[in-house]
Amino acid sequence: MTLERFIQLWTHRYHKYSHIFEARLLGFRARSHFRAVKQKLKPSQKLIAVVRTEHFGDIIAAEPIARYIRSLHPDGYIVWFVKPAFHELVDYNPEINEVFREFCVTQRQTLMDGNVFDQVIELQFSNNNHCPKCQVFVDNPVAVRRDITIFNYFDYGNLLEVFAQTGDLIPPKSPFPADDQPRLYLQESHRTKVDSLHLPDRFIVLHCQSNYKPKDWPSDRWEMLIDWLAATYDYQIVEVGMKSSLNVSTNSYRNLCGQLSILETGEVIRRAKFFIGLDSGPSHLANATGTFGMILMGALNNFLNYNPYSGQYGRQENVVLVRQAGQPCCDLTFEFVKEKVKEVLDKESEISQLS
């Protein structure tokens, strides 16, 4: 072994075991915290953990579960486990008593080994809970028993229904038994931020890049779509997301990528006339805010024809799912997408003229 390789090996081990030590320490501290919380509860009150730590579209899709659990346990103390990057999605939910910003799965495992919670509701698939630094998986026994994995989960319904099943809240392959429309809890600070952007009255929001390449549509076709929209309709076009891969020169286009928090992005989408995007987090924001959506979708891995949404998008009451049977999103042609968008925008123009 060379000296350089020896240094690399022990640097890796140092970071790994330092991380594990910190995670376990934080887990023991969390045990003490929740034991103190439990001591303050009445004997009839349950201390309930809900685990859905990522991704932000999944957390939005799972929001009705918080209301459903509250209906089952009106006086329960509900704690939602979430990664720090996504905490704002649950911070303002009135049905949740406390948001636990999880350091990693080893911290959670250390906490749960203390048997502090009266009930743990895991909204996680099998093979879906991994810490790359600890290099460990933490499995959900309900998902294992029901054989719900990252390879077959859409065989069990939409995301909300799947999460409710992995949490042992409903029988296998059952519809969600309560209000299934996801909600977003926007605050005055989010409205104030978006006010400062001075957006026009009529604009369309675009989200053009997901966190999973197979869901994406090529950048050159997005650019063609923007150019066509700008030349044909009287709408400003606003792109949101983490970053943009587009090269657009039209004055009708504005790039807000990387400038907004998740809920600020939600407020921008709420104000938009239309949302055009991918099967990704911002499309769940659009569903939750009631903005009409045009969602570019396709076959995804093992799932040839699926609908991840509940509520209005799930019933296709406020959305057009732009897809062709058996084709991945990247194979949708510009002309096909343009015609689907044109149908929606022309119909809107006709309604506006009549009124």
Report pLDDT for 242. 95
Helices (DSSP H) in the chain: which residue ranges?
A: 3-40, 56-61, 63-72, 88-91, 105-112, 141-146, 159-166, 188-195, 219-232, 262-271, 281-289, 311-314, 334-354
- Give the pLDDT confidence of 85-101 residue by residue, as tens digits: 999 999 999 999 999 99
**pLDDT tens, position by position, 303-345:** 988 999 999 999 999 999 999 988 999 999 999 999 999 999 9
> If DSSP codes are grouped into helix, strand and coil, which group holds residue 98?
strand
8 Å CB contact between 27 and 106? yes
Judgement on whether residues 47 and 160 belong to the same structural domain of the protein: yes
Q: Does the pLDDT value for residue 128 go beyond 80?
A: no
Task: Tell me the per-residue pLDDT of 129-152, one tens digit each, with 9 for 90 and over.
Answer: 778 888 878 889 999 999 999 899
Tell me if 175 is assigned to some domain: no
Same domain, 155 and 201: no
DSSP 80: E
Q: Which of 147-151, 293-297, 336-340, 351-355 has the lowest mean pLDDT?
A: 351-355
Look at the pTM and tell me if it is higher than 0.85: yes
Instruction: With respect to residue 301, please indicate whether it lies within any of the assigned structural domains.
Output: yes
Question: What is the average pLDDT across 205-226?
Answer: 94
Looking at residue 13, its pLDDT comes to 67
List the structure tokens of 223. 């650019």
Residues 202, 216: Cα–Cα separation, whole Å: 26
Between CA 78 and CA 70 the distance in angstroms is 8
- Which domain CATH number covers 204? 3.40.50.2000
* pLDDT for 11: 61
114 is a domain residue: yes
Identify whether residues 14 and 119 lie together within a single domain. Answer: yes
> In which region does residue 157 sit, left (phi positive, over 0), alpha (psi from -120 to 50) or beta (all else)?
left
What b/e sequence results for 87-110 when a residue is b if at least 16 CB atoms lie within 10 Å of its CB, and e otherwise?
bbbbeebebbeebbebbbbbbbbb
CATH number of the domain to which 123 belongs = 3.40.50
Is residue 180 assigned to a domain?
Answer: no
**Cβ atoms 143, 166 nearer than 8 A:** yes
Residue 305 domain boundaries: 189-354
* CA nearest neighbour of 119 among 169, 68, 156: 169
Q: Is 241 left (phi over 0), alpha (psi -120 to 50) or beta?
A: left
Pair (19, 161) in one structural domain: yes
Q: Indicate the residue among 120, 151, 166 that finishes a domain.
A: 166
Give a yes or no: residue 326 inside a domain. Answer: yes
